[in-house]
Amino acid sequence: MTEFVKAGVLNVAYLAEGPVSGPPVVLLHGFPYDVHAFSDVTKILVAKGCRVYVPYLRGFGQTHFLDEATPRSGQQAAMVSDLLAFLDALNIETATLAGFDWGGRIAALIGVLWPERAKGVVLDNNVPVQDIERDALESASPEAEQRYWYQYYMHSERGRTGLTRNRREFCRHLWRLWSPNWAFRDEDFERSFASFENPDFVDVALHSYRHRYGLAPDDPAYVEIERRLQVLPPVRVPCTVLVGADDGVEPPGGADPRRFAGGYDYEVLRACGHNIPAEAPEAFASAIMKFVNA
């Protein structure tokens, strides 16, 4: 059953399962996915005695802003602030954090700025802190640039129109491209697609993909946090980086040790794409339990 908690600027919708006294684990989805990516992972963790929390990010599901005047920011500083407020609202002092896509970065950023709140972090093959100044000016390889087409598409108002009018087709296309071996069913996609009908979905997504290239302004509420992030501090807690061998947007390429001051493991998962928790739930849950049991 979906629960709600007022946390920072949001009324956060979330799922919670497992014994209340169990070690807390927070699972964070990405774009364009939702809490259902973790259905199998949650079952495994609950069976091992964990208390599992799975929030809908801003712009997804029934999570909504408390004030209509709040900017619909998708920048990294806003989203990590959401997670910190969620932990505070539920009186979670320290938890194991895990996520993929946007969620992987959000989890890692807690380990960057507030390491005392994370026992360990499991993330996908994602740079923990966005280097906005560099990304605004430098290009990647032609192959990588082709994979990032969806980000560049959302830099334009044509992209806004496309994401608004063709939301179902756009998101389903990304699922197929990014996880070529994942035989998801129509009902799997439609169950998650309901989360993308949130009225803030488009605005949050566009701001996220514009801000990371220096094409959209900071939300004034997060200027100081963004300033701290732009010196590119490392993650200061232990991490496990999981990578799908067949990830259609972020293929294996190794992790930069300078970004992981707390140490990290790097594992490539065969026949797996971008949605690691749905495609390889046992591996994802096993990586989480390593920190839970530490």
The span from the first CA to the last CA of the chain, in angstroms, equals 30
Q: Which domains does the chain have, with CATH numbers?
A: 3-292 (3.40.50.1820)
Interatomic CA distance for residues 157 and 232, integer angstroms: 30
Whole-number pLDDT of residue 127: 87
Interatomic CA distance for residues 23 and 187, integer angstroms: 32
Which band of pLDDT confidence, cut at 50, 70 and 90, is reported for residue 114? Answer: very high
pTM: 0.98
Percent of the chain residues topping a pLDDT of 90: 97
Interatomic CA distance for residues 247 and 216, integer angstroms: 28
Q: Is the pLDDT of residue 126 over 90?
A: no
Residue-wise pLDDT tens digits, 20-47: 999 999 999 999 999 999 999 999 999 9
Beta carbons within 8 Å of 74's beta carbon, 6+ residues apart? 58, 59, 203, 204, 205, 206, 207, 208, 209, 211
Interatomic CA distance for residues 7 and 115, integer angstroms: 20
Residue-wise pLDDT tens digits, 228-279: 999 999 999 999 999 999 999 999 988 899 999 999 999 999 999 999 999 9
Residue-wise pLDDT tens digits, 139-192: 889 999 999 999 999 999 999 999 999 999 999 999 999 999 999 999 999 999
